[in-house]
Structure 1
Amino acid sequence: MSATKMTLVGNVVTSPTRKRTQNGSVTNFRVASTERYFDSGRQEWVDGSTFFLDVECWNDLGGNVAHSISKGDPVVVVGSMRTHEWDSDQGRRSRPQMRAEAVALNLARGIAEFRRMPRAAGASAAEEPPAPTEEQFTGSPEDPTDGRDYEVADEAFTSPDADDLQREPAHA
């Protein structure tokens, strides 16, 4: 089956909500993506139009999103586009919706700490994982890098050039 794939970069504008259905559990939230462009006449970056999109995340992804993403967070979402249709008092209505395959915090806008969730032996993707506890996370609260596959160095790989220190335009 062919699906329209899309990558969306924006900000979470509604707190994720999680619901159980007969088909599994789903987490829904809304993302706003505002275009930015350089206005050469004003010599500055300006906001353009904003596109709002409803995102649905099923099962394990939904559980991880519900525990990791909050209103206001900058995110990158990859998924399939669909049209959500329903009947209302005004007649048949529709709006675009994305079924997410992957959701990530946008690290161009900040830093994050990833914690891998252990899977139960023989668990299928459709089974609902229990809510995570601090004991299930790798690493210790005193040293969050403990258990990672990299080491933290005291020095940078390279010294920054003047171009590296130039501030990038803000993204919405």
Structure 2
Amino acid sequence: MNDTLVTVVGNVVDSPRRVRLASGAVTNFRMASTARRYDSRSQEFVDAGTFWVDIECWNELSGNVSGSVSKGDPVIVHGTLTTHSWETENGRRSTPRIRALAVGPNLTRGTAEFRRSRPPRSGEAADASADGPLSPSEASAEDAFAAASEVPVEGRDYVTDVETLHA
């Protein structure tokens, strides 16, 4: 199969909507990508056309996007480009759609804090609630993980002195 893979940089233009279906969960949102070009005659950057595209995110990506992305956020979307078509009283209509493989914040426009989503441990039920109280062994493992993630590791972490980043 010859899928058309694309990467689009733009802004989310509506609030993501998450729906659970028999085939899995899906989150949909719309984004706009406006090209900017330098006009040598006017000596300034000008906006070119805007590309509007619907984005669909399935299953694990669906939950992560619905919990992380909001209207107005600058994002980068990578996925498979398709065309969604339908019939109306005025004839056939269509719009581009991307089935996202990855969605992330555009870090040229701001900062982000990343938190890994944790899949269920082997032997645990997939629908186990993460909101319940932790057992003593789970609590100590969680505390150890949190403490370990706050300790800088030489060669992995940049620096521990915040002022160094702003010097």
Q: Which residue of 2 aligns with 1:21?
A: 21
Displacement of 1:48 in angstroms is 1.1
- Structure 1 residues 10 and 77, CA, compared in 2 at 3 Å: closer, same or farther? same
1:153 corresponds to 2:160: yes
Displacement of 1:92 in angstroms is 2.2
Q: Which residue of 2 aligns with 1:10?
A: 10
User: What are the ranges of 5 or more consecutive residues in structure 1 without an aligned counterpart?
Assistant: 160-172
Q: Which residue of 1 aligns with 2:137?
A: none
Give me the CA root mean square deviation. 2.9
The structure with the largest helix share of the pair is 2
Q: Which residue of 1 aligns with 2:43?
A: 43
Q: Which residue of 1 aligns with 2:139?
A: none
Tell me the SS of whatever aligns to 1:81.
Answer: strand
Q: Which residue of 2 aligns with 1:92?
A: 92
Displacement of 1:152 in angstroms is 3.6
User: What are the ranges of 5 or more consecutive residues in structure 2 without an aligned counterpart?
Assistant: 135-141
Displacement of 1:96 in angstroms is 0.8
Tell me the SS of whatever aligns to 2:51.
Answer: strand
Displacement of 1:22 in angstroms is 1.7
Per-residue CA shift, 1:92-118, capped at 9, x if unaligned?
221110000000000011100000011
- Structure 1 residues 43 and 104, CA, compared in 2 at 3 Å: closer, same or farther? same
Please give the TM-score of this superposition, normalised by the length of structure 1. Answer: 0.75
Per-residue CA shift, 1:109-167, capped at 9, x if unaligned?
110000001110359xxx7897889x98x758xxxx7267625432249x7xxxxxxxx
The number of aligned residues is 149
Q: Identity of aligned pairs, percent?
A: 48
Once residues 100 and 55 of structure 1 are traced to their aligned partners in structure 2, the CA distance between those partners, rounded to angstroms, is 7
Per-residue CA shift, 1:24-62, capped at 9, x if unaligned?
110000110001011111111111111100000000001
Amino acid at match of 1:89: E
Once residues 92 and 153 of structure 1 are traced to their aligned partners in structure 2, the CA distance between those partners, rounded to angstroms, is 59
- Structure 1 residues 113 and 103, CA, compared in 2 at 3 Å: closer, same or farther? same
Name the larger-Rg structure: 2
Q: Which residue of 1 aligns with 2:105?
A: 105
Once residues 65 and 120 of structure 1 are traced to their aligned partners in structure 2, the CA distance between those partners, rounded to angstroms, is 19
Once residues 119 and 57 of structure 1 are traced to their aligned partners in structure 2, the CA distance between those partners, rounded to angstroms, is 18
- Structure 1 residues 53 and 128, CA, compared in 2 at 3 Å: closer, same or farther? farther
Displacement of 1:88 in angstroms is 1.7
Once residues 128 and 14 of structure 1 are traced to their aligned partners in structure 2, the CA distance between those partners, rounded to angstroms, is 30
Contact 1:56 1:100 (8 Å CA) reproduced:
yes
